């Protein structure tokens, strides 16, 4: 079995059209969800699911009024992101677009939905939930029962944009075997981001005072760590956990110091490092692909276009110019 096949088998992609109440048992990954229809269905309920060993993403569009309940697997957490304004209630609380429905370990699913209800359900093990608490700086917050938390419009908009992009990437990665390693890493990072957003929304701890000097110091600490790990398959969450800071603090520091986010800055560091290697090479036989992979690049097509935008030439051109100069 080749490397791509192994990666592909690590993710499942399924789609369901739900016509009857009993079919709702497939609507949420890992949960024996029970539904009672309260009105005739308008259209079948659509569910699209992506599952790995460490997370599940369930995209749901319900077209029926129903009562739903069920139990999560042991030591798993579920967070639902409400994506439209169709009425739904959970544990007797009416919720609306931009609400995060947080079910910590041991807490059942318990709610009511109406036609037009749209939701993303993210499920993951409890250890991810605990890491997200650290990432968000929520040590003083406790989730011992269900909570409905409202995102700010800006936070919801950013998550929604990222979610739609990720959904398309996951479909493409599964069906065509494209850049699967990168997409799986993006999905893992998105799950952590959703979990951290829940902790951040729940915390009442005031943001610690900072200053321009502190933000610059933090950005430079992070930069040094990134430079030492360019070849590793790392995500922004890894950096936050390493430095014991929240993602919000890190992004604010990078915006102050470098006028861009940490992920964009990491990508630029990698491109510059590759550029320097190509500029110093004296062999036309060197593999640009191997050099890129050695610097943490996972999508070679995207790498080439990003390299061209930054340096105005293809990586192969940089290599050829340097090798030709040495030969002369």
pLDDT digits (tens, 9 = 90+) for 153-212: 998 999 999 999 999 999 988 877 667 788 888 999 999 999 998 988 887 544 455 687
Can you tell me whether residue 14 is helix, strand or coil?
strand
Q: How many CB atoms lie within 10 A of CB 39?
A: 10
Q: Is pLDDT of 117 > 50? A: yes
Domains within the chain, CATH numbers bracketed: 3-191 (2.60.120.10), 206-328 (1.10.10.60)
Condensed to tens digits (0 to 9), the pLDDT of residues 58-107 reads 999 999 999 899 999 899 999 999 999 898 989 878 899 999 999 988 88
Residues 44 and 63: their CA atoms lie apart, in Å, by 6
Mean pLDDT (the chain, rounded): 85
- Over residues 217-245, mean pLDDT: 88
The H-or-E segment that residue 36 falls in is strand 34-37
Query: Which residue from 134, 142, 137, 193 is spatially nearest to 163, judged by alpha carbons?
Result: 193
- Residue 267: how many CB atoms within 10 A of its CB? 18
Q: What pLDDT does residue 5 have?
A: 33
Given its phi and psi angles, is residue 177 left (phi above 0), alpha (psi -120 to 50 degrees) or beta? left
Residue 1 has pLDDT above 50, yes or no: no
Residues 214 and 231: their CA atoms lie apart, in Å, by 28
pLDDT digits (tens, 9 = 90+) for 261-310: 898 889 888 888 898 888 887 665 578 888 888 888 888 888 888 888 88
pLDDT of residue 233: 84
Region 102-113 average pLDDT: 89
Quick one: which of 139, 117, 122 has its CA closest to 130?
139
Tell how strand 56-61 and strand 99-103 pair up: unpaired
pLDDT recorded at residue 204? 52
The pLDDT tens digits for 14-38 are 999 998 888 998 899 988 898 988 8
Residue owning tokens 């398959």:
233
């Amino acid at each position: 079995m080749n490397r791509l096949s192994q990666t592909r088998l690590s993710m499942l992609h399924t789609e369901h059209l739900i016509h009857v109440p009993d079919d709702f048992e497939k609507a949420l990954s890992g949960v024996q969800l029970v539904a009672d229809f309260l009105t005739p269905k308008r259209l079948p309920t659509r569910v699209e699911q992506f599952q790995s060993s460490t997370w599940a993403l369930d995209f749901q569009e319900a077209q029926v009024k129903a009562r739903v309940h069920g139990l999560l697997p042991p030591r798993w957490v579920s967070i639902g992101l409400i994506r439209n304004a169709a009425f739904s209630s959970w544990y007797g609380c009416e919720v609306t677009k931009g609400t995060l429905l947080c079910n910590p370990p041991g807490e059942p699913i318990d709610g009511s939905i109406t036609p037009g209800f749209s939701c993303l359900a993210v499920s993951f093990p409890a250890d991810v939930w605990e890491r997200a608490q650290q990432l968000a700086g929520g040590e003083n917050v406790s989730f011992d029962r269900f909570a409905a938390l409202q995102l700010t419009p800006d936070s919801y908009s950013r998550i929604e944009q990222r979610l739609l992009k990720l959904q398309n990437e996951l479909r493409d990665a599964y069906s065509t075997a494209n850049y699967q390693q990168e997409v799986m890493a993006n999905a893992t990072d998105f799950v952590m981001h959703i979990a951290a957003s829940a902790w951040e929304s729940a915390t009442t701890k005031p943001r610690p005072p900072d200053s321009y000097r502190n933000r610059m110091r933090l950005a430079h600490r992070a930069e040094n760590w990134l430079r030492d790990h360019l070849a590793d398959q790392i995500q922004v969450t890894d950096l936050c956990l390493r430095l014991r800071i929240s993602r919000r603090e890190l992004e604010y520091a990078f915006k102050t110091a470098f006028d861009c986010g940490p992920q964009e800055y990491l990508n630029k560091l990698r491109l510059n490092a590759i550029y320097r290697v190509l500029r110093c090479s004296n062999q036309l036989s060197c593999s640009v692909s191997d050099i890129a992979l050695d610097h943490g690049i996972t999508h070679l097509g995207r790498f080439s276009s990003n390299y061209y935008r930054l340096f105005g030439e293809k990586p192969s051109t940089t290599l050829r110019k340097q090798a030709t100069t040495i030969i002369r």
